[in-house]
Amino acid sequence: MLIDIDAIGFDQRQHGRQPDRHAQGLDLMLLRLLGILLFALALGARAESPYTNVDNAQLKTLLAQGVPIYDVRRAQEWCQTGVVQGSRKLTFVDASGRSNPEFLPRFTAEVGKDGPVIVICRTDTLARELVEKIGYTRVYNVRDGITRWIGENNPVVKN
């Protein structure tokens, strides 16, 4: 973005005064700061979550509408806590943090990129990756995951 200083009245010669180098330097610095601020605000507007966080009440509504839910935790975690009824279990990463090689092929085969999908884990991790790296457009992330679901005394299905 270029700003014409003369066009917005910063040229002191228009007012019959000699240009003051110090004042011109301050004016230029203020314009630069304004530019930086506008740039930062533009970036901030784009920094919002690329997916939708939902609470448990919203999760129940989405489930009632038939939106598929994927529990992306590990089998050990499913056994410890149980899962939300209707969850499709598909591990995203193993205990050492390595991606499950079966995750992406199965997930993409079952869920269209423009179709709605709910992901739930222990807390929150996967939704951003589904949107940013894989290109899904309607991802719902269960805020605070299974931990909050159980904490609010919602039912689970034990394995």
pLDDT bin (cut points 50, 70, 90) of residue 81 is very high
Total Cβ atoms within 10 A of residue 70: 22
pLDDT exceeds 90 at position 62 = yes
As a whole number, mean pLDDT of residues 59-81 equals 95
For residues 73 and 96, is the Cβ–Cβ distance under 8 A? no
Give the SS3 label for residue 128: helix
For residues 141 and 108, is the Cβ–Cβ distance under 8 A? no
State residue 135's pLDDT score. Answer: 84
Strand extents, DSSP E, 18-95: 52-54, 69-71, 88-89
Alpha-carbon span 10 to 129, nearest angstrom: 47
Tens-digit pLDDT profile for residues 91-132:
998 888 888 999 999 999 999 988 999 999 876 667 777 777
Domains of the chain and any CATH numbers: 6-46 (no CATH), 52-151 (3.40.250.10)
Most confident of 14-18, 30-34, 79-83, 125-129: 79-83
For residues 50 and 67, is the Cβ–Cβ distance under 8 A? no
Residues β-bridged to residue 89: 71
